[in-house]
Structures are given as C-alpha cells and as structure tokens.
Amino acid sequence: MSKLNSRREEFFKLWKLALPIAIAHAGQALMGFVDTAVVGRTGTDALAAVGLSTAIFFAVSSFASGLLMGVDPLLTQNVGAGNLSRARVIFWQGSYLAIAVGVILAVPLMLLPTVLASLGVDFAELPLVHDYLLWRAPSLPLLLLFMVARSYLQAVGRTGALVVATVAANIFNLGANLLLVFGGAELPAAFGPLREIPALGVTGSALSTLLCCVLQSAIVAWAVRRVDVPGGKPSSKLVREDVLQALRVGFPIGLHIAAEVGIFSLAGVLARGLGAESMSAHQIAITYASISFTVALGIGNAGCVRVGWAVGAFNTQQARQSGFMAFASGTAFMSLCALVFAFFPLPLALFVGAPREVLPLVLPLLMVSAVFQISDGLQAVGAGVLRGVGETRFPLVANMVGHYLVGLPVALLLGFRMGYGVLGIWWGLCIGLTAVAVTLFWRFERLSAGTLRPLNT
C-alpha cells in the first residue's frame, strides 16, 4: 500500500512549494500594479490606456501561457516517476514551443491598435495603446520562456531561483518605471547621463516591463543550467512528437485560460464603453484582484506539482489528499483577502493614486471583488490540481459555460439593461466565477475517487 502523508506534513510540503511559486506569480502582477500606480499619476487617459493595453496583452499572453502549461503534467509526472532525464528533455521541447508561440503572437499584438482604428474604434487613448503594445509585445517570448523554466524548476523542487528572479525584476521595474515614465530631469547631478532620459509616459512603462522580462528570464535560465540530471546530459534536440504531445495537452488549457482572462478583458472593454472613469475604476480593481489571485494561482500550481508527483508514482490516495489540501489552503487565503478588500477599500484605492472622479466607482468594485475572492481562488486551485491529473479539457468546458453562458448574460443584464454600469458588470463576473469554482471542485472529487493514471511518460 502506498504511503500517505499526514495532513500536517502535506500542508507544509504544499506551502513549501506554493510560497515561492506564488511570489513568482505575484511578481508578474506586481509589475502591472507598479505600471498602474506610476502611470495613474500622469492622468486618467494614460491610466485608461494602460488598462486597455493590459487587457489586450493578457488576453493574448494568457492563451499562449496556457499552451505552455501542457508541459506541466508531463514534467511533474515524469519527476514523480523518477525519470529526471525525460523531464529535462520535456523542458527543452517546451522552450522551443515558447519561442515559436511567443514570436507568432507578438506580431498581432503590435498590429491590433492599428486594426482597431481601421474598424472605426476611436477611443481617445488608442494612440497611447499603440505605443504601449509596440514595446510590450516583444516581451511575450521572454515571458513564455520564463514560464517553461518556472514549470521545470517547480517540478524538480528548485524554486528558490523564482524568488530571486521576481525580487530582482520588481526592484528594477520600480526604478525603471519612475525613470522612463517621468524622465530623469529631476534627478541629482550624480546620476549623470540618466538625467538626459526624456519623459516617455506610457511607452516608458512598457519598455520598463520589457527590460524586466529580459532580466528574470536570464536568472531562471541560469538556475535551470545548475540542476544536475543523473545519467549524463540529456539531449536538447527538437523532438516533434514531444512538442505535439505538449500542444495536445496544452491547447485546452490555452483555450480555458483565454476564456477566463477573455471574460475579464471583455469586461474591461465594456467598462470603457461606459467612459474613461469606468475603465480606470475597472483597471484599479482588477489590479488588486490580480495580486490576491496570484497567491491562489501559486497554490494551484503547487497542487499541480504535488498531485502530478503522486499520479506519476501511481499513488491515487496521495493525489487526492494533495488536491484537497490545495483547495483548503486556497479557500483560507482568499478569505483573508476578502476581509482586506471589504474593510479597506478607500486606502487601497488611494494607494494607487485613483483620481478623484474615479473613487465613487472603484470603491464598490473592490467590495464586489471581496465577495468573489473565494470563488476566484477555488477555480484557480481546481484548474491546477486537475492539470496535475492530466485533465485539461473539462476546465475549458466549465469556464465556457460558467463565464459565457452564466456570468456574461448577468453582467449585460445588470450593467446595461438595469443601469448598474460597471458595478453590474462585476456582479456578473462574480456569479460566473462561482459557477466555475463549484464545477471544478466537483470534477476533482469525482476523478480522485477512482484510480488516477499518468499520461504517457
């Protein structure tokens, strides 16, 4: 009979993985938070431009990220089976896939604002959106390479480098944002040539994020090279069959994440249709929700690793325990976040420099965000543990039904037909998230009650 950890032991093993992974995820969101906080001080139009640009970028990059997540169960299950050499081969195939997908999708990102203008979209901030995406799009291949390295490092339990890369990138991003957005004219004479840098506004924020992606990708690449693989150096050649298998597993994840992020991006577009103030309020609220969500995402990724290890070792009972511990941890953390959002909405809004005309809209949005924290956390964990099992199609169906057949109609009804505006849109998001969360929990409970078998390793 396979060994089963005690609940206490499983809790500590889960969080040993979850914390650095969550920090890595939070680091990505924190860069967006800094962009919002810095650019927000240059005016409502610039803030709305960053909000719209971010919605577009993450709609595309999230689909790409999901494609790359097809390597997650392949990596974790091979590590669980003790096949570290095979895991390293999968890492190389994921890297090749990251470069190809990143380059292909960066092109439409750069062209999209021009296409929108040709279709008659005449938002005042569209030229700023063009400038932002022109410099942000080249970061997509680097972001995907970082993701593959992160998946490999978390699969082999070497997550310390993720923390180093995240901290270094965010320290750099804060300084670079302030310098490139506002220019160096006000710096002391000791800063020399930096004082000659002009104020680049929205473009400077995008350029700062691009440079950060270069930095963190270099750090994790160095960390991967330091991981020893027993039995000699595995081949780094392109293996067509492995790339196709990763795509088969990852394609439903890509569509699932695109559907999930797409509904929030669509909410941003709908909010912009209500005015720049509504878009700015949406951007501030979604920025805070994204930060708390990254921890739930980290718990979900840790659950993916723990469940994947157990499935690779043919230990269904341990996989079930690991999955439920991840659900419990995600629920507990997001409950704490809900309390913070509910009791401190005004300080949170003021902290990111919300313009006075935006405050009456952003405060109720933060209250709605408090309500859906638990559902948001549960669905993030549910997708993670099911990915560890190798189940990637069901979350896609759950997200399409929950968000687009349940949440979106409610958002349109409340936001436009009943006149609640951006607040009604967010209540629709809340209901959709709840439907998805309940469905994913049910699916894991049902699958783990049987016998879980690994993918072809």
CB atoms within 10 A of CB 448: 23
pLDDT of 217 over the 60 cut: yes
pLDDT digits (tens, 9 = 90+) for 221-267: 999 998 888 877 777 888 888 888 888 888 888 888 878 877 877 88
Answer whether 433's CB lies under 8 Å from 408's CB.
no
Of 199-203, 211-215, 269-273, the poorest mean pLDDT is in 269-273
Cβ of 179: how many Cβ atoms within 10 Å? Answer: 19
**Torsion 45-144-107-168 (CA) sign:** positive
pLDDT tens digits, one per residue of 119-165? 666 666 677 888 888 888 999 999 999 999 999 998 888 888 988 99
| Residue from 432, 241, 320, 315 nearest 7 by CA | 320
pLDDT tens for residues 34-82? 877 787 777 777 777 777 787 788 778 888 888 898 888 889 888 888 8
Chain CA centroid to CA 451, Å:
31
Closest by CA position to 361, among listed 47, 38, 129, 133: 47
Distance of CA 328 to the CA centre of its chain: 21
Which pair of tokens denotes residue 281? 């309020």
Closest CA to 214 of 162, 139, 109, 147: 139
- Please report, for the chain, the start and end positions of each structural domain, with discontinuous segments joined by +: 7-448
Closest CA to 67 of 220, 245, 225, 286: 245
pLDDT confidence bin for 318, thresholds 50/70/90: very high
Residues 6+ apart with CB under 8 A from 325: 7, 10, 11, 14, 303, 306
pLDDT digit string, tens, across residues 394-430: 999 999 999 999 999 999 999 888 878 888 888 998 9
Up-side HSE of residue 112: CA atoms within 13 Å toward CB? 21
Better-scored residue on pLDDT, 362 or 232: 362
Q: Binning pLDDT at 50, 70 and 90, where does residue 1 land?
A: very low
Condensed to tens digits (0 to 9), the pLDDT of residues 275-290 reads 777 777 887 888 788 7
Compute the distance between CA of residue 49 and CA of residue 54 in angstroms, rounded to an integer: 8
Task: Give the C-alpha separation, 363 to 422, whole Å.
Answer: 12
pLDDT in tens, 171-201: 998 888 888 888 777 777 776 777 777 778 8
Residue with tokens 């704490």: 336
* Tokens read off for 431: 């209901």
Give the per-residue pLDDT at 160.
87
Rg of the chain, C-alpha, whole Å? 22
pLDDT number for residue 120: 65
- Indicate the pLDDT class of residue 443, thresholds 50, 70 and 90: very high
pLDDT of residue 456: 63
How many whole angstroms separate alpha carbon 396 and alpha carbon 394? Answer: 5
- Predicted TM-score (pTM) of this structure: 0.79
pLDDT in tens, 19-37: 888 888 777 777 777 877 7
Q: 270 falls in which pLDDT band (50, 70, 90)?
A: confident
